[in-house]
Structure 1
Amino acid sequence: VVVNFRMPGHGIPGFERAAAQMAIGEVYNMRIHHDDVLEPVLRFLKIMEIDGLGPEGQKAQEELGLFMGGLNAEALKFDEKLAARKARMAARAAG
Structure 2
Amino acid sequence: MKNKELIIGILVGLLASAIGLLLTLFIFGKGNSVGDSLHIAIRNGVLTKLVSMGAILNLGAFFLFLKQKKDLRARGVLIATIVVAVITLIIRFV
Shorter-chain TM-score: which interval?
0.3 to 0.5
Structure showing greater Rg: 1
Instruction: Output the TM-score relative to the length of structure 2.
Output: 0.48
Which structure's relative contact order is higher, taking Cα pairs within 8 Å and 6+ residues apart? Answer: 2
Instruction: Pick the structure with more helix per residue.
Output: 2
Q: TM-score, with normalisation over the residues of structure 1?
A: 0.47
